Amino acid sequence: MTSPISTPAKTGIASTPRDRIAVALDVAGEREALDLVDRLEGACNWLKVGMELYYATGNRLVEELKKRGHRVFLDLKLHDIPNTVAGAVRSVSQTGAELLTVHASGGPAMLEAAAKAAHVPGAPKLLAVTVLTSMDAHELNAAGVPGLPAVQVVRLATLAKDSGIHGMVCSPEEVAEVRTATGSDSILVIPGIRPVGYPADDQRRMATASEAITRGASILVVGRPITRAADPGAAARAIVDEIASVA
């Protein structure tokens, strides 16, 4: 058995296999989200609330998920001028969410303002989104960034670390390089997880759960392979078991 590069227990965020998977509640409304949570049957602790769902439900859903004993990851990908992002971080600090994303491409001033705003009781730990997993070299080059995604990912991850951000979001392809560049205490949250044989959908840079954990991931974000399964609870438990087999 290969030992993982990461040491997620040090972060206080991901100390057990059930803490190392976040199910993406990528649905349109509160009722759909809570129905999905019920069908998960407690298979995992973390739930990811993205922009679509948060804009529809606001803090009410976060509070309900917390009442049910779940840990909440708010994936809002904040990207604006430093003062606005700092204000948003302070607002989110009142929700009880434990993780919150900002875009690393917002630059050092924005990242530092966000990090400063997160130094208050109850604030979430911040994760910097590097390069979206839906982007490959062609997409990145079209946006004016030359070279391979891995180069930009490590560049942005290092910038985020130097700016005081707690962790990063990157694809499974770059996680080992980001772990090496940012150290064992960084929280590395990894989307783009697909079981063997599962369709890629809109993901370009992917891996299985065991591959991502072995490379140094702290938490895996899994959406459609679980949420579109006939039995979401069973699908989530299968991935937790896969994580346990290598963690």
Amino acid at site 153: V
Distance CA 127, CA 191 (A): 13
Q: Which of 77, 116, 125, 161 is catalytic?
A: 77
Q: How many other C-beta atoms are found inside a 10 Å radius of the C-beta of residue 34?
A: 17
Distance CA 220, CA 112 (A): 26
Lowest mean pLDDT among 102-106, 125-129, 169-173: 169-173
Cα four-point dihedral sign 144, 131, 186, 86: positive
Residues 6+ apart with CB under 8 A from 198: 225
- Secondary structure element (H or E) that encloses residue 230, with its range: none
Tell whether the model's pLDDT for residue 198 goes beyond 80.
no
Stated pTM of the model: 0.91
Please, are residues 117 and 123 in contact by the beta-carbon 8 Å criterion? yes
Burial of 233 (0-12, 13-18, 19+ CB in 10 A): middle
Amino acid at site 70: H
130-188: pLDDT as tens digits: 998 888 889 899 999 988 899 999 999 999 999 999 999 999 999 999 999 999 999 99
Amino acid at site 10: K
Mind listing the domains of the chain with CATH numbers? Answer: 15-246 (3.20.20.70)
Please, are residues 16 and 243 in contact by the beta-carbon 8 Å criterion? no
Where does the pLDDT of residue 15 fall: very low under 50, low under 70, confident under 90, or very high at 90 and above? confident
* Annotation marks residue 77 as catalytic: yes
Distance CA 50, CA 101 (A): 10
Distance CA 82, CA 235 (A): 40
